[in-house]
Every structure is written in structure tokens, then in C-alpha cells.
């Protein structure tokens, strides 16, 4: 199937996605799994990590099938989800001391289609506007954690607060953001 016909199948994908029939969801899984796995594998260079990333995306998609908002195409949505799931995976593993052959900056250079880039920019703007609604200290801790990629102990030292306080603030800010962004399930991948 060429890319054009994959895009044209969106209305059918939407009906399959909203169905309670696991067989219909399996059709979506079969349609997209291989391409998503190959994309994740090209970035992670580890089969089990790539499988885990893609599996997590499909589990989330199934669990949120009634509320997930797909603007244009399920294919674009899924590939954008893979991109950011890979970035999150690399960040988590690097924090644990595991080194991937590709750095985060290189992953961020993954080429997106215009549609994917537009969707990403909209989600980024949405998340940023929600972060701005948080109390000042929560904003500060969130940005140091998510934008500056500082560890909790580094944030605590920089702000002259305890590490437990950082954990508590970060936990509460993530909870608030997830609640506010609950209608945009993919945005939760980016928080």
C-alpha cells in the first residue's frame, strides 16, 4: 500500500479505532505495527526497546480509543507518537546510565511531514499554555525537569529546596497537566 492510500484510509481507521471489537483494533495494529517498529528500531538500534515503545503506544491507543483526538491521519498521529516515545525512552535510559548510540538532539532531527510538524507544534503550544497556568514554582520545577533535563537532585540544589520537595512539586504539576490535557491523549506522551 502506498503512502497516499494509507492517508486515504483515515476515515476507515477512525471507525476501527472507536470500535469495541478487538479484531478491528488488531487490523490497525497489523496495518501500522511494522512501519512503526522499523521507525523506532532505526532510532533505538535495539529490537526489544523498539518493540516496547511501539507496544506501549498501541496499549495507550486502545485504552484511550474513545477520547484520543486524531486531527488528520492516524498514521501521522502514530508516527509522531513513536518519535516522542523514543525521545522519552532515550531520556529515561540515559538518566539510568544507559547510553544509546544516538543522542537526543539527533532524535529530534527526525524528519516529520508537514502534517506531523503542524500537529506537533499545536500540541507543543497547548502544553506550553497549560504549563503557564501552573503556579510559578511548579512552572519552574517542570521546566527545569522537562526542558533543561535536570535530575531532581540538581533541581533541588539549584532552587535550594529538598529533593523530596522537587519530587512532590513535579508529581503534582504532572498530575495537573495530565488532568488538563486529558482530552488530548497524545499530549500526555509529551508532558
Note the pLDDT tens digit of each residue in 29-43: 999 999 899 888 887
Contact 113, 72 (CB under 8 A): no
- Name which of 32, 124, 25, 19 is nearest 76 in CA terms: 32
Distance between CA atoms of residues 29 and 23, nearest Å: 10
Mean pLDDT for the stretch of residues 136-144: 91
- Burial class from Cβ neighbours inside 10 Å (0-12, 13-18, 19+) for residue 11 reads exposed
Distance between CA atoms of residues 129 and 133, nearest Å: 7
Could you tell me the pTM of the whole model?
0.50
The CA distances from residue 157 to 39, 79, 94, 160, 177, in Å, are 38, 37, 21, 5, 25
pLDDT in tens, 61-70: 888 787 777 7
Contacts for 50 with CB less than 8 Å, ≥ 6 apart? 37, 40, 41, 43, 44
Distance between CA atoms of residues 29 and 35, nearest Å: 10
- Burial class from Cβ neighbours inside 10 Å (0-12, 13-18, 19+) for residue 17 reads buried
Report percent pLDDT > 90 for the chain: 20
Amino acid at each position: 500500500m502506498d503512502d497516499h492510500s494509507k492517508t486515504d484510509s483515515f476515515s476507515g481507521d477512525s471507525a476501527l479505532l472507536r470500535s469495541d471489537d478487538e479484531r478491528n483494533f488488531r487490523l490497525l495494529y497489523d496495518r501500522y505495527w511494522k512501519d512503526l517498529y522499523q521507525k523506532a528500531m532505526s532510532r533505538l538500534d535495539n529490537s526489544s526497546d523498539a518493540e516496547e515503545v511501539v507496544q506501549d503506544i498501541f496499549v495507550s491507543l486502545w485504552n484511550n480509543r474513545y477520547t484520543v483526538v486524531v486531527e488528520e491521519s492516524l498514521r501521522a498521529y502514530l508516527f509522531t507518537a513513536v518519535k516522542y516515545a523514543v525521545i522519552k525512552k532515550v531520556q529515561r535510559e540515559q538518566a539510568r546510565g544507559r547510553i544509546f548510540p544516538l543522542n537526543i538532539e539527533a532524535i529530534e532531527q527526525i524528519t516529520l511531514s508537514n502534517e506531523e510538524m503542524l500537529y506537533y507544534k499545536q500540541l507543543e503550544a497547548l502544553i506550553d499554555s497549560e504549563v503557564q497556568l501552573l503556579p510559578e514554582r511548579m512552572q519552574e520545577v517542570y521546566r527545569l525537569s522537562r526542558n533543561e533535563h535536570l535530575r531532581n537532585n540538581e533541581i533541588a540544589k539549584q532552587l535550594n529546596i529538598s529533593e523530596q520537595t522537587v519530587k512532590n512539586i513535579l508529581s503534582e504539576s504532572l498530575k495537573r497537566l495530565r488532568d488538563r490535557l486529558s482530552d488530548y491523549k497524545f499530549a500526555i506522551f509529551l508532558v
